[in-house]
Structure 1
């Protein structure tokens, strides 16, 4: 049995537009070196993306959210945080993960902007990694029923209705 469940992630969309500079090649497992690729891991909280992929997704999100005020300095491993304190309504850009075969997983905002304090600071719940493998963590999986079909080598995401 495989230790990790690799998925063929092919890109991201922010605000309905594909993120430039991110391709399937950037996210592919190199079988000769064992580096690269993307795994699903419910034991990892925050999604970690290869640093160039992360930078492209983060920059696309920042550009699509000009009405949100960035908090200086970030928080822990997060470098993109916003001061949303005192706001009743916040409009944020959509964020989707694209998988091989045409599947698109549209994440709800609470799966990519998370509160980190009681003053209204919310951070972009992705981070970069130099570790060789990208990880889709449990924050992005929350609210979905994730179905693994090892025989057919497929994964499915079904939004929970309860």
Structure 2
């Protein structure tokens, strides 16, 4: 499992940088060594930052924000426990959708380095589908799917 000179040439002709080709070669080499040692290599998961301005509800309550959109979202989440609600995020920025500030954001993965997020609108009549950081964030491929 390594890149041949011919494959390196094809990748470069397709627009891949020398550094990216070198990184891919190293990744393949590391996977080969890991496999030889009988271990499974960890999957590569691209980190996706939260939307601009997103902070936890605990943060926004602590700074005593007076935004009407925040108040509306917080009212929709009033039945949640403080712990659950404070694990969610909100942003005052409307974002590219124009209504991100009318959504609460659920971080997917570790809080300090999420791999994605889902933003749910407070009014399901307006939008009953979550906005996702990556369209297939919830799609997991099982070996049996091949």
TM-score between both structures, scaled by the size of structure 1: 0.25
**As a proportion of its length, which structure holds more helix?**
2
Structure whose CA Rg is larger: 2
**Going by fraction, where is strand more abundant, 1 or 2?**
1
Which of structures 1 and 2 has the larger relative contact order (alpha carbons within 8 angstroms, sep 6+)? 1
TM-score by length of 2: 0.27
